[in-house]
Each structure stands twice: as structure tokens, then as C-alpha cells.
Structure 1
Amino acid sequence: MSLPVLVAIVVVGISLCVVAVHFTGGSKWATLDGADDALRHFQQDFPDEAVRKVRLTADRRTAFMELDGGRSGIVQTFGDRFLTRIVTPPDVVSASLAEPSVVSIRFRDFTWAGGRFAFADARDASAVLKAIELAEPARALEA
């Protein structure tokens, strides 16, 4: 078999695999259907945590939850799965309002560095920022 024919077969085979994964739902991004859905996902991993307030991002891919003890719960979609975690102020490297309704957060955890989170309401963005912001401004200089 000639090299060009072999290359063509490999390219077509890989393309068919990618198309099959896409059409069977492999490239689908999950979304949160609302605060109750976010709370359900969070409480699957942290059933003993009392959640005071749930705030969803505008794209419904992330939810921030106010917890007792100055901690925040987060539910975020990754592909068709959900990641849940609890963060405390020492886990935060930096947090700021990038725009009136967009919070930019960097975490110390190398497995999830953070990101930019857009909210439909600027009040939600401010509340999330206040809940997760640094305990001491000098901490940002340690990173």
C-alpha cells in the first residue's frame, strides 16, 4: 500500500471517530438548570454542608454558594460532568471585578486555576467577590 493511501485511510478513520464521539454526546457541555440543580450536585459530594445562598453565572456553567465559616462552595461543569469544591480565603491568590458583573478569580490549586465568571446581575458578582476575597490583601504578594 502506498504512503498517500495509508495517510488518507488514517485521516478518514480519525475523522470518523471524532464525528462519532460528537454525535453520541461526547462534546456536549452540561449546564446547571438552576439553584436547586447546583445545590443537588454540591450536596452529593458535601451532604453535611449548610448552604446559605446559591448564585449562578449567566452561562449556567458555574454556581457559587455561601457556606458557614467564611467558606464558599463551587459547582462547575467540565464537559458533561460537574466539579464541586469548597474554597477558603487562603485558597485564593487574587480576586477582582473585571467588569461590573464579571469576577476574575485565581486559586492556588494547580488543578483548577480559576477563571472569569460572568453574572447576569452585578450584585451577584459583588456578593461572590466579597464571599471569596482575600482575608488579607498582603496574601496576593506571597504568590
Structure 2
Amino acid sequence: MGLITWTVLFALVGLLGYVATRMAHSSERDSAHDAGMAIIEFGHAFPNEAIRNLHITADGMAVFVRLHDNKAGFMRHLRNHYACHLIEPGTVRVRDLPGGKGFDIEFLDAPFHNGKYTFASAAEAAEVSLWLLGNYLPAGERVLTSNPVPST
């Protein structure tokens, strides 16, 4: 074989390697956004907790979970599994990020999960921050009371 044939063959093998690598990375990113897998893994870690709702961060690397009794959970995607964490009251500090689509969170009992998390919308970030602060009350569960102020 001539030099040109070897050069073309080498270029094709290099291109094929590049395409295979890109495909592997994109499938890894796609699996990071798998809400079904997140639900299954959280269920394995905390079988007595019922999930009501969840929100995945914009990059798909973290999932925030609202549980049945207004507790919250957190999951961080680590290669081929999720690290699950049940958030206890009073163990988290939340500060909003500029732009409103995320927040900076500090886990007092799990500092390795500390970080900045952004969501697809500001509404998602606000809802999750309310879960974390323990103030979440959906509109359907609000009880409006009309307690007139007594006159003195």
C-alpha cells in the first residue's frame, strides 16, 4: 500500500474514534437526565419515603425531591448511580444566584454536596428553594382565614 492509502486509512480511524467518543459522552449526558432512574434509586435508598415531586437541574447532574410530608431529598448523579440524601430540617442554607434560575446551597450535614445549582426556569428554582426551606404549600392546600383584627 502506498503512503496516500495509509494516510487516508489513518484519518478514517481517527475520525471513527472521535465520533465514537462523542457518542459515548452524549449518551452519558442523556442518562444523567433520567428521572425514572432517579426515582428508582431514591426508592432503594429510602424505601419508606413517598415521592410527591422532583426537579432536575439544568445540567441533569442533581435532582431535588419533594417527599410526602413536605420533607425534601437530594440526589447527585455520580457516573452510573445517584448519591441520595434526605434533608433534615435545619440542615441546609440557601442563597439565590443572580438571574433567579438557581441557588447556592450549603448542606450542614453533607458538605460534599454543597454547590451552585441552576434550573431551566426561575419558577423551578423558587419552588425547590421553598421545599428546602420547609415553606412549600401548594395553592390547593392554602387555607385562607379571615380573622378580623379586634377593635380596641
Same fold (TM over 0.5): yes
Which whole-Å CA distance do the structure 2 matches of 1:52 and 1:131 have between them? 11
| Segments ≥4 residues shifted beyond 4 Å | none
The structure that has the greater radius of gyration is 2
Unpaired segments ≥5 residues, structure 2: 1-20, 136-152
- 1:12-37 Cα deviation digits (max 9, x unpaired): xxxxxxxxxxx9x9xxx775333222
Structure 1 unaligned spans of 5+: 1-22, 136-143
By relative contact order (CA 8 Å, sep 6+), the higher-ranking structure is 1
- Compare 107-116 and 62-71 and name the one that shifted more: 107-116
Check conservation: 1:76, 1:82, Cα contact below 8 A.
Answer: yes
- Separation (CA, whole Å) in 1 of partners of 2:110 and 2:44: 24
Supply the distance in 1 between the matched residues of 2:107 and 2:95 (Cα, whole angstroms). 12
CA distance in 1, matches of 2:60, 2:69: 26
- Matching residue of 1:112: 112
Code of the residue aligned with 1:89 in structure 2: it is: P
In structure 1, the partner of 2:96 is: 97
TM-score, normalised via structure 1 length? 0.65
Report the equivalent of 2:70: 70
Query: Which residue does the alignment assign to 1:5?
Result: none
Q: What TM-score do the two structures reach when normalised by structure 2? A: 0.62
Q: CA deviation at 1:113?
A: 4.7
